[in-house]
Structures are given as structure tokens and as C-alpha cells.
Amino acid sequence: MSEAEATDPAITPTRRGLLGMIGTGVAGLALGGAGGAAVTAAALAGTGADGSSGSVVPFHGAHQAGIVTPAQDRLHFASFRMVRGATRDDLIALLQDWTAAAEQLCRGEALGTGIESEDPLLPPDDTGEAEGLHAGHLTLTFGLGHQLFTGEEDDADPFGIRAKLPDTFTPLPSFAFDLLEATQSGGDLCVQACADDPQIAVHAIRNLARIAIGRAHLSWSQLGFGRTSSTSRDQETPRNLFGFKDGTMNIMSDERAALDAHVWVGGSAPEWMRGGTYLVARKILMTIETWDRTSLLEQERVFGRTKRTGGPATGGGEFEQPDFTATNAAGEPTIDIAAHVRLAHPDQNGGARILRRGYNYVDGSNGLGQMGGGLFFISFQRDPAMFVRVQQSLKPDLLNEYIRHIGSGLWAVPRGIAQGEFVAQALFE
Ligand SMILES: C=CC1=C(C)c2cc3[nH]c(cc4nc(cc5[nH]c(cc1n2)c(C)c5CCC(=O)O)C(CCC(=O)O)=C4C)c(C)c3C=C
Ligand SMILES: [Fe+2]
């Protein structure tokens, strides 16, 4: 296949197309072969047969994808626990198998021989629900939990990696108002799957869970939609379930200096984490019915921003800097002293900034006429202490009246990998 043919939308291969070509013996189409490169180039051209959904985000690179990648619309986040008695070799083999699968999934390929099993007495290599779909900008971001290094009792070294535990990687403390449920918190490994299409994200997690069997099991997972933070100025700022623009003051993917200062782990950390980051997830229930009965004045006081434009209460458009010194006619601060944006602002937090990349979620309703929905908050920062600092400063936040933190997790996200490496390989060297 020539480069020109490879980028022709009309012949950009879908999962089924790829299988067909493997079946007819197209030379080198297997992983790593010359044909494989052509397939990647085709997919990288970003155009599928339907003209929109065939885009590939490269899996390899200095940093893992899914962090500064322009936020896709859909999330399936999964937390895994290693099975009791799993060994270091099991963990390494799992990360190797996940890496090989992730490379294929992110290229929009079916796993192994796909749904056309050579032996009908065995389950097919791929579960099949993404058959006919394209890569859909799928990104898979892998993280390692603290317990992986220390064991459940914090006094063990089940996988022989304790010596590589970074000093800064300590579990999150309890926060005021935490109402955490163990069934939605923690985990030895996490995988953040983001894509344009929920079927693609779910397919990826499902197949990674299947591959993990006998070594790790799916502990809990969360579906999300309608990204609540932009990571690129090319994206319109989305709205959260309270109807406010969310992500206005986020760190953007082109802010190189800010990313180095606040997101990417730097030089003094263990080698396997340099270029990595830490992922915090917080499942935050939003009491939507109460909020919907709250006056617009109060809603805007809570955030310190206007609902329509997203601009600060002190005036100007969405991206105008808030003036925290401004007062109204009565001499009171125009932006309430407990407004969310005041307390979350870097000025209140020793300059700490975090990269937010969360999603709305709705898990159905609770049988009392209330929606079980909110924000699946995700942030990336070079040190978990940066999140802790911001979260602790939100203690008097007016928003707390309308939210409940019900799930939590912290994972170290190793640096990205080159072709031929597996995720977190440097941790085992
Ligand atoms: C600990 C970190 C944060 C949590 C938890 C959090 C929850 C949360 N936030 C919103 C809605 C908005 N947040 C906004 C700004 C904002 N929030 C945080 C941090 C946390 N938010 C930061 C660091 C910032 C930026 C502050 C700044 O630099 O000005 C905004 C305003 C628009 C924006 O800049 O994004 C909204 C709206 C909800 C609904 C929520 C929990 C459910
Ligand atoms: Fe916020």
C-alpha cells in the first residue's frame, strides 16, 4: 500500500478490513512490519471511511497519551486489583500484554485474529463490539497505585518495586466532607480510556479486563461523557452538569512551560517516572435537584463566574482574569471569599496549578426522584501534594453544599514509551 493509498479515506482500513487483509496474507501487515507502518500512516491521516471517525492518536511518545491530548467526548475509566498471590512476573507479563493490546486498539485494529477465530471451539481474540468502527481518537492511559509498591498493609513489597517508590508518592489524606465508598475508590492499576465513541472506550476496557484474567481483576469502573475541561483553546469550553463552563482556566496543551512546571515529573524523580505525572480521580456526586431550585444569583456566587458567558463576576469575557480585590457598593468582595474560583485559584494555593480532564457522569437515579450524577473529576499534576493543597483550600467552598465526594483514587502515570517497550518497563530494570 503506498502512502497516497494509505491516506485515501475510501480505503482507510476498519477493523474488519484489516482482518481481511491479514487473512489474504498482505505482506508485513502484522504489528511492526512495513505494512503495519502503512496502516498507521493511513489511520494517522485521521479520516475514516465515514470521513470523521478514523483518527488515531499515537500510543507511543515521551508522555502517555490522554493527558494533553485534546479531550475526547467519552470516558471509560477502570480500576484493577492484582489477584492474591500474583507475582512480579505476572505483573510484568500483564503490562506487556496490555501494551501489545493497547497498541492495536489505539490504531483501531481488532485484537489478534479478531472475531474470526481459527478455532471455533475457542472464544475469538476480540470481543467484537468495535468491529467496523475506527480508532475514534482512542487513548489509553495507564497508572500504578501506591499499594502495588507496598502491599495492602503498607509493609510489604509484593512485586519487588518498593525501592523505586518516589518520595512524593504518598496516599491522599482524608479531606473534610469525604464520603468515600470503598467500591469506587483506589486500585493497584488504573486505565483511563477516552474516545469519541463510548462503544470504542468500553470495548478497550472490556478487552483489557479480559486479558488481565488470572492476574488482575476489574475492581470498579466509571463511564463519563461531555468532557468537562478543555485541554486546548481549539476546543469550546464545555459545561458541567450545573450548567457552568468548566475548564476555562485549565492548563492547555500548548502551555509548554506550565506543563513542565505543574504536570510532568522532573529530573530528581526515579527514572521510570521522569516525564510521567500523577492522576487523581474523584467521583463527585452533584445534588442536581437542589441546585436546580437555587437562584441564578446564588449559583453565580458559588462559582464567582457568570453562568452565560463563564466570565468572572468582576466583569469581562470568559478568559478575563478575575479581580479578587474588587468590592461592591456595600464594600463586600465582588467575588465571595468562599467562591469556588477564588479558593481554587493558584494565588490561594502557593501557585499550584493542576491539569483538569474530567467528565460528567450519570449512573441512573436513586429511586427517590434524584439523579445519581455529577463530575468524575480527573486531574494530572507532577506531585500529588499539589492536588492536596487545592482540595484542602476548598474546605470552606460554597460549592460543598451542593456536592459529595464519593470516590477517590491516586495513581502514578509512568512516562510514555517507545515502540518495542512496554508500559512502565523502566520500573523493572
Ligand atoms: C481539588 C480540585 C478541584 C475540585 C475537586 C473541583 C471540583 C469542581 N469544580 C467544579 C466547577 C468549576 N471549577 C472551576 C475552576 C477550578 N476548579 C479547580 C479545582 C477543582 N475543582 C481549579 C484549579 C479551577 C481553576 C481556578 C482558577 O485558576 O481560576 C470552574 C470555573 C471555570 C474554570 O476555570 O474551569 C468551575 C465552573 C465543579 C462543578 C466541581 C465538583 C463537582
Ligand atoms: Fe473546580
Residues 149-208: tens digit of each pLDDT: 999 888 899 999 999 999 999 999 999 999 999 999 999 999 999 999 999 999 999 999
Is the residue at 289 inside a domain?
no
Cα 422 to Cα 429: distance, rounded to the nearest angstrom = 12
Pocket of ligand 1 (CB under 6 A): 240, 242, 244-250, 282, 284, 286, 303, 305, 340-341, 344-346, 354, 374-375, 377, 387, 390-391, 394, 403
Distances (CA, A) of 245 to 116, 137, 230, 309: 46, 24, 10, 8
Note the pLDDT tens digit of each residue in 222-265: 999 998 777 878 889 999 999 999 999 999 999 999 999 999 99
Percentage, residues of the chain above pLDDT 90: 82
Query: Which residue's CA is the closest to the ligand 1 atom numbered 19?
Result: 344
Q: Which helix (H) or strand (E) holds 224?
A: strand 216-225
- Which residue's entry shows cell 510489604? 156
What is the number of the ligand 1 atom nearest to the C-alpha of 244?
A: 37
What is the pairing mode between strands 403-413 and 139-145? Answer: antiparallel
**CA-CA-CA-CA dihedral for 245, 301, 348, 181, to nearest 10:** -70
What is the number of the ligand 1 atom nearest to the C-alpha of 349?
A: 23
3-state secondary structure of 66: coil
Tell me, what's the pLDDT at 54? 53
Does residue 17 contact residue 108 with C-beta atoms inside 8 Å? no
Ligand 1 centroid from CA 127, angstroms? 38
Tell me, what's the pLDDT at 403? 98
Cα 76 to Cα 245: distance, rounded to the nearest angstrom = 22
Query: Which residue's CA is the closest to the ligand 1 atom numbered 23?
Result: 344
Question: Which residues 6+ apart lie within 8 Å of 305 measured at CB?
Answer: 244, 245, 248, 311, 312, 313, 322, 341
Tell me, what's the pLDDT at 202? 98
Q: Report which bound ligand comes closest to the CA of 373.
A: 1
What letter represents residue 332's amino acid? E
Ligand 2 centroid from CA 299, angstroms? 14
Ligand 2 centroid from CA 391, angstroms? 10
User: Is 210 a residue whose pLDDT tops 50?
Assistant: yes
- Which residue's entry shows cell 437515579? 365
Tell me, what's the pLDDT at 28? 26
| Mean pLDDT computed over 129-136 | 95
Q: Which helix (H) or strand (E) holds 397?
A: none
Render the burial of 68-91: b for 16+ CB within 10 Å, e for the rest.
bbebbbbbbbbbbbbeeebeeebb
Does residue 209 contact residue 127 with C-beta atoms inside 8 Å? no
Q: How many domains does the chain have?
A: 1
Cα 400 to Cα 18: distance, rounded to the nearest angstrom = 50
Ligand 2 centroid from CA 340, angstroms? 7
Q: Report which bound ligand comes closest to the CA of 345.
A: 1
Rg of the Cα trace of the chain? Answer: 23
Tell me, what's the pLDDT at 198? 98
Which grid coordinates are listed for 271? 527514572
Is the residue at 82 inside a domain?
no
Query: Which residue's CA is the closest to the ligand 1 atom numbered 30?
Result: 246
Query: Which residue's CA is the closest to the ligand 1 atom numbered 13?
Result: 246
Is the residue at 297 inside a domain?
no
Does residue 78 contact residue 190 with C-beta atoms inside 8 Å? yes
Q: What predicted TM-score, i.e. pTM, was given to this entire model?
A: 0.90
Render the burial of 19-49: b for 16+ CB within 10 Å, e for the rest.
bebbeeebeebeeeeebbebbbebbbbbbbb
Ligand 1 centroid from CA 418, angstroms? 34
Q: Report which bound ligand comes closest to the CA of 390.
A: 1
Tell me, what's the pLDDT at 51? 39
Query: Which residue's CA is the closest to the ligand 1 atom numbered 22?
Result: 344
Note the pLDDT tens digit of each residue in 73-112: 999 999 999 999 999 999 999 999 999 999 999 999 999 9
Question: Which residues 6+ apart lie within 8 Å of 279 measured at CB?
Answer: 141, 143, 190, 192, 378, 379, 380, 409, 410, 411, 413
Is the residue at 134 inside a domain?
no
What is the number of the ligand 1 atom nearest to the C-alpha of 310?
A: 32
- Which residue's entry shows cell 513542565? 260
Name the residue range of residue 1's domain: 1-54
Is the residue at 128 inside a domain?
no
Is the residue at 240 inside a domain?
no
Is the residue at 3 inside a domain?
yes
> How many helices (H) and strands (E) are present in the chain, helices listed first?
11, 9
**Which of 246, 278, 309 has most ligand 1 atoms within 8 Å of CB, for mutation?**
246
What is the number of the ligand 1 atom nearest to the C-alpha of 284?
A: 42
**Model confidence band, residue 341 (pLDDT cutoffs 50, 70, 90):** very high
Neighbours of 109 (CB within 10 A): 28
| Mean pLDDT computed over 368-394 | 97
Which grid coordinates are listed for 285? 456526586
Is the residue at 35 inside a domain?
yes
User: Is 302 a residue whose pLDDT tops 50?
Assistant: yes
Query: Which residue's CA is the closest to the ligand 1 atom numbered 35?
Result: 247
Q: Measuring CA to CA, which residue among 6, 32, 15, 10 is closest to residue 136? A: 15
What is the number of the ligand 1 atom nearest to the C-alpha of 246?
A: 35
Query: Which residue's CA is the closest to the ligand 1 atom numbered 28?
Result: 345
